[in-house]
Amino acid sequence: MTVERAAALQFGARLSGTTHPSKANAEAFDGVVDKITHAARHLLASLHTSAPPRDRAVEAEKARARSRERLFQTPRWPARPMDSGLCDD
């Protein structure tokens, strides 16, 4: 399954409110998904960019690195109000 087809299925499911249409509606659903897939391919083919294509694996690793950086950085604020020195106990 292509990325365009998967996106079309997700979009069709969102619009119709169901991921598995009934037998009576399956033909109409599949037809709409085919049309959305065609439109998505047409859109992607018509876009112009000077940037090189991105690699999903590389981008995913960059996102994981940013997440690790945020997760393990020193907090800029006290974790609890009593640690701030504002509470006199």
User: What's the predicted TM-score (pTM) here?
Assistant: 0.56
Question: Which amino acid, 25?
Answer: N
10-residue averages of pLDDT along the chain (89 residues): 92 90 92 95 92 92 92 69 58
pLDDT at 69 (0 to 100): 87
Q: How many CA atoms lie within 13 A of 24 on its CB side?
A: 0
Distances (CA, A) of 42 to 4, 12, 26, 35: 10, 17, 24, 10
pLDDT at 1 (0 to 100): 86
